[in-house]
Amino acid sequence: MPDWRQLVQERLGSLGLGAAREDEISTELSEHLEDAYQGARERGLAHESAVAWALEQVPDWHRLRRDLRRAGREEDDVSHMTRTVWLPGVTTLVLSALLLLAMVRLVPPTLWVSPNAPTRLLLPWLLAYFVFGAMGAYWSRRVGGSVTARVLSGTFPLAMHVVVMLLPVLVTWMSATPKFPEHLDPTYLLRIGLLWVLIPGIALALGTLPFLGKRAAV
């Protein structure tokens, strides 16, 4: 009986996907060839004919090797993006959402209209965002993220800010009788964009700066 595993390894060669993944591929493909061989033998084919029948299950080894390598690279790209952008980015997003929720629930209404509100509320909020930006960029760098990945991870909460700002604007524009007509005022939108998007975005971006230099070892 042929050594299907050795045959598969010889015909595929090195795929550049890592020993564990290549071993898994060799095992699965050799089992597939073995099943085809045994099925042919059960149908009465001689050994040589059964081997030939099994090998016909893979008509183009070069194409198979190329497809496996391409699929492996695409899988690696997705997992790398998940590790370096999505996981740290979503974490900072969740933390920023929890912080805003806590501020709305716990801060007394009188403090929001206090003359000292910018100092008592805005500065701690921006300091927290600075920390979130630093955390996202640091996490991304630790797992081998590029400079772009680090910036995206650290500034990910801006996605929430943009959605929260634009959603009522779109609803107002689409409504025949706007409930909040101020959303049609360019001056109001500019002010909200400054306070709700630009300023927290700067705080997040500043937090990423210390971690945009030398890439950490993976």
Residue the block writes with tokens 């910036």: 151
81 has a pLDDT exceeding 80: yes
pLDDT band at 9, cuts 50/70/90?
confident
Instruction: Report domain extents, the chain.
Output: 4-59, 80-211
Nearest to 4 by CA among 31, 42, 41, 40: 31
16-32: per-residue pLDDT in tens? 777 777 788 888 888 88
pLDDT band at 92, cuts 50/70/90?
very high
Q: Give residue 178's pLDDT.
A: 66
- Core vs surface per residue 28-39: b (16+ CB within 10 A) or e: ebbeebeebbee
pLDDT band at 217, cuts 50/70/90?
very low
Beta-carbon contacts of residue 17 (< 8 Å; ≥ 6 apart): 25, 68, 69, 72
Is the Cβ–Cβ distance between 133 and 154 less than 8 Å?
yes
Instruction: Report the distance separating Cα 188 and Cα 201, nearest Å.
Output: 19
Q: Inter-axis angle of helices 199-208 and 147-154, to 10 degrees?
A: 140
Nearest to 139 by CA among 153, 156, 129, 127: 153
Task: Give the mean pLDDT of 34-62.
Answer: 87
Q: Give residue 77's pLDDT.
A: 66
Return the structure tokens found at 121: 């509320």
Q: Give residue 185's pLDDT.
A: 82
Return the structure tokens found at 24: 């898994």
Nearest to 95 by CA among 215, 200, 214, 213: 200
146-193: per-residue pLDDT in tens? 999 999 999 999 999 999 888 888 887 887 776 667 777 888 889 888
pTM to 2 decimal places = 0.66
